[in-house]
Structure 1
Amino acid sequence: MKKQLLILMMGCIAGTMSAQDGWQSLFNGKNLKGWKVIGGEAEYKVVDGAIVGTSRMNTPNTFLTTKKQYGDFILEMEFKVDDGLNSGIQFRSNSKKEYQDGRVHGYQYEIDPSSRAWSGGIYDEARLGWLYPLTTNAEAQKAFKHNDWNKARIEAFGNNIRTWINGVPAADILDAQDATGFIALQVHSIGKEELAGKQVAWRNIRILTTNLESAKSPQSGIVQHNCIPNTISGREAAEGWKLLWDGKTTNGWISHRAPKFPEKGWHIENGLLVVEKADGAESGNGGDIITTEKYKNFVLTVEFRITRGANSGVKYFVNPDINNEPGGSAIGCEFQILDDNVHPDAKLGVNGNRKLGSLYDLIPAPADKPFRPGFFNKATIVVKGNQVEHWLNDVKIIEYTRNNQMWDAFVDYSKYKDWVNFGNFETGHILLQDHGDEVYFKNIKIKELE
């Protein structure tokens, strides 16, 4: 009798503590009360205290969503997924008639059992794509457990969203697109019969929406991605980052041919710097634009989106005074921007050295570069003296050394062979190229190095 009474008392204490700490269960372990299915026709059912989703052919992404909306919160749950099946946990997501006829869109905690291992990364479903892939977070990539239960944690506080996988910090972003939305469990669409019947499961789903500050995790120290267009966060400012374009004006940029911004060929639209469509000629419309300042050692990031068949580029070590010809582009090392599948320039040059991401006409980017058609992609150029790197979407694709015999040999075998000291200048302007095709730029930032 005493033992039964003790057990009863302990149960009452545990229940009181659970109520006091503010956590709420989103799944009762028995049925799908409080949830609804939208999007596709994959099946969800409750098995042994877990929600199990099963993939199905010929249906789009399917989502089991909460009926309630949530803003700031800490969300935790466990998940297990069959190898070969991609999935995710939606949060602050929505389905609105005015957005692609009700298509689910919003933030997603990635569930990725592939060799890429991006579980815990943040994807923007049906909108911007990847906000935080795990390309620079090897510890999080190693944290995922195949064919076993994994623990997900998501903290959403205002514009700051952070994630963990099995206690390891995975992603950290600043973004201001959605402040509220539902939570949803995704069964991804499949295109292969052998993936039909694959399953993903979730259990122990709970959320905290009150007294959040006391439960907030300390800063982890992983890289933070500022996804708010054309802004510098406090953390970025402390690290030395500055905007090269403010998202509103032409301040800091001029034509490579004149000390003012071009009067045609470029315009600003909803926080985007746009090269206008013309006849595809090199610098034949508004012409290239360059920074008013020169730079020596730096990390430069530029986000770009190309239209079908487009050609453009980001150049550095540009000194317009060495190119006095009336037409054509200013001369400099170039991170090539190109639609490799359509533009004829992709078939020219040597070994693909005129394709996207390449050091134009000199060093080719790898064929498996992480380019995302239809989305904004991030070009990063790192210069430390004579050491230079090209990165695409946080993956290094090229590195080279200039001002040496090998560099001069590359140049002598390129279209730049007649330009004295090409690529060997100590400083130069940053340039965005007008090649007569429509291209969009945003989030142009620089951090100068010693």
Structure 2
Amino acid sequence: MKKYILLGCGLLWMVAAQAQNGKWQNLFNGKDLKGWKQLNGKAIYEVKNGEIVGTTVLKEPNSFLATEKNYGDFIFEVEYKLDNDFNSGIQFRSQSKADYQNGRVFGYQMEVDPSARRWSGGIYEEGRRGWLYPLDLNPAAQNAYKPNAWNKYRIECRGSEIRTYINGIAASHLVDAELPSGFIALQVHGIGNKQEDAGKHIRWKNIRIMENPPASQYSPYDTIYVVNNVPNTVSEQEKRNGVRLLWDGVSTKGWRSAHKATFPEKGWEIKDGTLSVLPSDGGESTNGGDIVTEEEFSAFDLEFDFKLTEGANSGVKYFVTEKESGPGSAIGLEFQILDDAKHPDAKLGAAGNRKLASLYDLIPSYKFTNSHKKIGEWNHGRVVVYPDNRVEHWLNGHKVVSYVRGDNIYKALVARSKYQKFPNFGEAEKGHILLQDHGNAVSFRSVKIKILR
């Protein structure tokens, strides 16, 4: 009899769990904060007129009203309104652990950012990696936020795929496997000692979630840019967008030595999904030498992850024609890869045009706060060449260089550079993509390309 009762309870529990999956559930009952708990700072959270109201408090760190339950795959919706413009966000798949910064909340955050940069709807990782999807990557969503009005946020999480929407507009699309589940939380951002920001309010209502929703409940695929942090993979949306791997993560297929027919016999290593230059004497192409794609490209969106060692120098070049010969690296436009603090090349050139992510010896890169990762961490580089010859360099989600290949300004810069001796430098109709051997240990992965037409 006891066995029968336990089995019956188990079946009832399973039926109840299944009933929740694929069904909308309210996370806020409109009366009190049952099912929620406050973490970190001591901002004020209270219920008024069927809304949760958060109020800023002086000298308190970021405060979070978190669900007591964790969620993995789900669709989440909430409406919010700012009484005054200030920063906030919706945490999801987030954690608070005693052994991590004394319980500091960390995890994904759908940003509420009414400032001039207009990044509301982007994805930030609170307490750890920082910006994962800044809205510079999707300018079409930067006008979706409505000031002094109710805004509707939607978050979709399915496995490693994360998508956000603001007022029905696709804002960000992230593929990331770091946090498979965690709590949801409403943030009141800390204001420090700013008296003028004390007592500001943010309001939330119509808070609901659908756990383990069927595929039919997710939004249809769109065409916005995808940030994919899972190494050497191409997501389904990336494929639809025309993205493919340029290096397969396991072999030398599609690559060869510059000016040669085969891949270098030494100086490069493929291991654990990374393609690495082995350290030698610090000279240009004196060990294994540069490697280039077998294909040539005209207009494209190139992406790559790279990791520097201390004092290292390397580069990713494009429009490499191999028409020039001589010692050193093959000639081409270069996305500079450099330890700016420890390599002497950072102090050469003009106005910092040999620093990380610069168009080497021509245009210095703009340095954003937190745009550079620490030495030994992976960075994400991107070079976009449009059919009309506009070119952009991106570093960790920030556009840091912009120019027009072949215009008068470009020609003037070339005329004052080390490249002035090469006729029509960088203006070829098409060329190879090159990874540079500069004699220092540097690693690459997730090398991808999309052809632009």
| Structure-2-length-normalised TM-score | 0.79
Q: How far apart, CA to CA, are the structure 2 residues paired with 1:280 and 1:33?
A: 62
Code of the residue aligned with 1:293 in structure 2: it is: E
Q: Does 1:444 pair with 2:441?
A: no
Deviation at 1:386, TM superposition (A): 7.4
Residue segments in structure 1 that go unaligned for 5+ positions in a row: 1-18
**Which residue does the alignment assign to 1:417?**
420
Q: Tell me, what secondary structure is at the counterpart of 1:143?
A: coil
1:338-378 Cα deviation digits (max 9, x unpaired): 34455443332223322333321123334669834346544
Matches of 2:43 and 2:31 in 1, distance apart? 16
Match of 1:345 in 2: 345
Q: Which residue of 2 aligns with 1:400?
A: 404
Q: Supply the distance in 2 between the matched residues of 1:277 and 1:191 (Cα, whole angstroms).
A: 46
**SS state at 2:111 partner:** strand
Q: For residues 102 and 274 of structure 1, what CA distance do their matches in structure 2 show?
A: 37
Matched, 1:428 2:445: no
1:390, CA displacement in angstroms? 1.9
Gaps of 5+ in 2: 1-19
Structure 2 counterpart of 1:391, from 368, 390, 393: 393
Give the letter aligned to residue 398 of structure 1.
Answer: S
Please name the residue that 1:241 is paired with: 243
Aligned-partner residue type, residue 428 of structure 1: G
CA contact (8 A) 1:303 1:378 kept: yes
The verdict on how the C-alpha distance between 1:113 and 1:238 changes in structure 2, with shifts beyond 3 A counting, is: closer
- Give the secondary-structure state (helix, strand or coil) at the position aligned to 2:136: coil
CA shift in 2, pair 1:199/1:380, >3 Å: same
Match status 1:51 vs 2:55: no
Query: Quick check: 1:152–1:164 contact (8 Å CA) kept in 2?
Result: yes
Change (3 A) 1:211 1:386: closer
CA RMSD of aligned residues (A): 3.6
Aligned to 1:93: 94
CA shift, 1:21, in A, is 9.1
| Deviations, residues 302-354 of structure 1 (Å, cap 9, x unaligned) | 233445654332101224462332xx322211112334455443332223322
Distance change in 2, residues 1:99/1:285 (3 Å): farther
Say whether 1:292 aligns with 2:294: yes
Secondary structure in 2 matching 1:74: strand
Q: 1:205-354, aligned counterparts within 5 Å?
A: 205-209=207-211, 212-213=214-215, 215-256=217-258, 259-261=262-264, 263-264=266-267, 266=269, 268-269=271-272, 271-275=273-277, 280-283=282-285, 286-306=288-308, 310-320=312-322, 322-325=324-327, 328-340=328-340, 343-354=343-354
Q: Secondary structure of the equivalent of 1:235?
A: helix
Q: How many residues align?
A: 427
For normalisation by structure 1, the TM-score amounts to: 0.80
Q: What SS is found at the alignment partner of 1:358?
A: coil
| Distance in 1 between residues matched to 2:28 and 2:274, nearest whole Å | 42
The answer on whether the counterparts of 1:379 and 1:390 sit within 8 Å (CA) in structure 2 is no
Does structure 2 conserve the Cα–Cα contact (< 8 Å) formed by 1:93 and 1:104? yes
Q: State the distance in 1 between where 2:102 and 2:389 align.
A: 49
Is residue 131 of structure 1 aligned with residue 135 of structure 2? Answer: no
Q: Residue 142 of structure 2 aligns to a residue in which SS?
A: helix
Identity of aligned residues (%): 51
Report the CA distance between 1:175 and its aligned residue.
Answer: 3.5
1:103-150 Cα offsets, whole Å, 9 max, x none, are 543322111121111111122334444332222434432221334432
Q: Deviations over 1:236-257 (max 9, x none)?
A: 3344322112223343334437
Q: Please say if 1:203 is aligned against 2:205.
A: yes
Q: Does 1:23 align with 2:24?
A: yes
